[in-house]
Each structure stands twice: as C-alpha cells, then as structure tokens.
Amino acid sequence: MVANMVGTGVFTSLGFQLLGIQSFFVLMMLWFVGGLTALCGALTYAELGANLPRSGGEYNFLTRLYHPCAGFISGWVSATVGFAAPVALAAMTFGAYLSAVFPNISPTGSALALVILLTAVHCLSRQTSSSIQQAFTALKVLLILLFCAVIFIWGGTYQAADFSPQAGDEKLIFSGAFAVALIYVNYAYTGWNSATYVTSELENPQRSLPIVLFIGTCIVMVLYLMLNFTFLSAAPISILEGKLEVGVIVADHALGANGGKAMGAVLALLLISTVSAMTMAGPRVLQAIGEDFSLFSKLASLNRHGVPMIAIVFQGALALVFIVSATFESVLIFSSFVLGVNTLFSVIGVFVLRWKKMNIKGAYKTFAYPFAPLAYLSVTLWTLIYVLISRPIEGWIGIAMIAVGAVLYYFSADRSQDSGR
C-alpha cells in the first residue's frame, strides 16, 4: 500500500500550493488535513472491503452497493484516468528532474520516450517482479529519510521559517485557495485505497485489511509532513513557487549544484519504476472490463506473450495524449477531480451498506462512525466544488469523462445481463 502512495505528488506539488498559500503553518496544515482525510477514507474503505471481500476496489463496491452501471463507470475511470493520468504525471516529473541534471534534454521528449519505451517493454513480457517494486518503494522511503537528515545536518542555508499560527491563518484555512491546494495534497496521498484492489489476495481480509489501511496511511502522513517541513525550512518560497522539480531546487540551494544534480538523478531513476509499475498494473483493470463486457472484449485479448497488449497500448496512448496536450498542473487537477468523485460515492456506500444490512457478522466496522466517513465526504465535496469554481475547464472535462463511461455502459451488449446479476 505504501508503494502506491509514495509517488510523484510529494516531490512536485509544493510549488503549486505556494502560488495561493505562503503561510508555513497553513501549508503544514494542508498536509495534516490531507493525511487525516485519507485516514478517514481508509477507515471507511476498510469496512467496505471487509464486508464486500472481493478484489476490484471501487468497481466492486459500487457494483454491489448501487448498480452495475455505477461499477462500470468506476472501472472506466480507474482504468483510464486512474492509471493513464498518473503515468503521464510521473513521466512528466521524470522529464523535469532529468532535464535538471541534463539541461539539454527536452522534458517533454524524455517523458514521451519513457512512456513509449515502457509500453513496448510490457507488451513483450509478462514477467513482473514484486520484490523489485518493493525494493524501489523501500528506496523511496529511505530517500525521504536521508534527504531530511542530510539537509538538516549538512545543509548550508536555512531560512527563518515560522511554523506557528499567524494572524489571518484561520481565514486562509477555510478559503477557496486552501480547498484547491488540497487537490494537490490529495493527489500525493492517492493510493490509500490500493489494498482494496487485491482484497481477495489478502489472508483474512476482515482482520488484516483495516490494519493495512490504517498503518500504511499513518506512515505516509508522517513521511510527508517531515519532507515538506524540510522543504520549507531549507529553501526560500521565492525559488519554489510554481516549480515542479522542488526536490532538486531544495537540494541545489542547501547542498550546492552537485547535491541538486544527485537528487535529480536519483528521483528520475525512481520515477522509472513508478511509471513501469503503473504501466503494468493499469491494463489489468482494462482487461477485467474486457472480460466482463463483450463490447470491450478486445481489451482482454492476449498476445503470444500472454500479455493484454491492446489494453497496454490503449493506456500508453492515453498517457501520451495527456503529456502533449496539457500541463502537469492541469492533468493533476483533472485526474484528482475525477478520482475524488469516484471515492466520494464509494465512501457514501458505507451508509448504503448498513442501510441494506449487508454487513458480515463480526467484520470490521468503521472507527468513529459516522464521523469518519462524514469528515471525508465534507472535505472531498468542499474541494470538488471549489475546483469547479476556480478550475472549471478541468472540472467539466472530468464530468464529461464520467459521462462517457455512462454512455459506454449503455451501449454495452451485456448491460441487461449485468443488471440481473
């Protein structure tokens, strides 16, 4: 689960948050509130996963709690935006960090090349290595800890950062700027629900799933708070504001040019594993949709290597479209909005679960119910509304993407059969 959470967001989003918020206390509150929101969501998903013990995450929840159409739309969103957009974002971050080390290399060109290369590799081989992925995850966590330690032990410059509350901070916390900035933070925490995608592979999910979700989210929240405290302490706001490659800028400012290049090289290397993992995992959802709905049967077809090549190429092509047609900020806000709607209806599902009396006897029930799910719903709905107000293009494109899923379900030859399941 930690593997799916520690990704590009924490190394890239602070610069965009600084465009609307420059209070150190409020910025740290952003990451704290984002962590608590993710924790409330995780606690709620733990009840859903324990009582609806089947892999598939939101696809499983919404199908069983609402209607197969809701499940299909969720699967469509997860399989397209949920994986293609993060692939694009990770590749764009890879390009930005690589160009910080080698200025003559085009960030966009290297991002496109990485997606094309890894798409081709995964079309030719079905070999996966969870141990290698776990090693890269451990390396990311170690990098965060080492980065924080090195900056504070050997960093040559510190700014006078006051993290105590200042006059006007309370208004800023309840402002639209805070709500929109939470979108960036929520993206960084994306992955807190990942364990529910493999529920059936867990031993005794009624007991183990809540523990995995709770501990994993808490670990990541502590790491994120520590890293952003380091960023804000080690470099002035003026050089971070609006920048993507925050890690390189902070390392360069605190440790010198060589330190910045070293940080950029390590992060670029780690991002290759991130793009590879998502390029490999995303098509599984597309393949499942192809198996369940005959209209999309081509997505489930395997090539001679036993790989769903069409699904992999489709996801890779969509990621390339994101890279060449939009900015990093736009793709992040768009994808976070769509995935936020997806999780919003899933969390509402815990009330539906209890209303329909679908609970398994003795299975986990949400801690602090109904306050935990209500807290998640309140914060998520607040951010979604402000995205529609302040970034209407990304918001309405997201709604259109969801509507496309509904249309595709309608035209699926299996819709009537699925309704009777």
CATH code, domain carrying 293 = 1.20.1740.10
3-state secondary structure of 209: helix
- Closest to 341 measured CA to CA, from 289, 391, 399: 399
How far is 93 from 133, CA to CA, in rounded Å? 19
Q: For all residues of the chain together, what is the average pLDDT?
A: 82
Place of tokens 């009840």: 47
C-alpha dihedral sign at 336, 337, 341, 342: negative
Place of tokens 């397209």: 80
Tens digits of residue pLDDT in 377-413: 999 999 999 889 988 999 999 999 999 989 888 877 5
- Closest to 62 measured CA to CA, from 409, 413, 331: 409
Give the model's pLDDT for residue 347.
94
Token pair, residue 260, equals 């910045």
Give the model's pLDDT for residue 80.
80
How many Cβ atoms sit within 10 Å of the Cβ of residue 42? 28
Number of structural domains found in the chain: 1
Give the model's pLDDT for residue 158.
59
**In which band, very low, low, confident or very high, does the pLDDT at 284 lie, cut at 50, 70 and 90?**
low
Residue-range definition of the domain harbouring residue 337: 2-419
Token pair, residue 55, equals 């892999």
Once rounded to an integer, what is the mean pLDDT over residues 134-159? 75
Span between the terminal Cα atoms of the chain, in Å: 31
3-state secondary structure of 164: coil
Give the model's pLDDT for residue 420.
47
How far is 380 from 392, CA to CA, in rounded Å? 16
Q: Say what the pTM is.
A: 0.81
Tens digits of residue pLDDT in 224-253: 998 898 888 888 888 888 888 888 888 888
Tens digits of residue pLDDT in 343-385: 999 999 999 999 988 877 777 788 888 999 999 999 999 999 9
**In which band, very low, low, confident or very high, does the pLDDT at 134 lie, cut at 50, 70 and 90?**
low
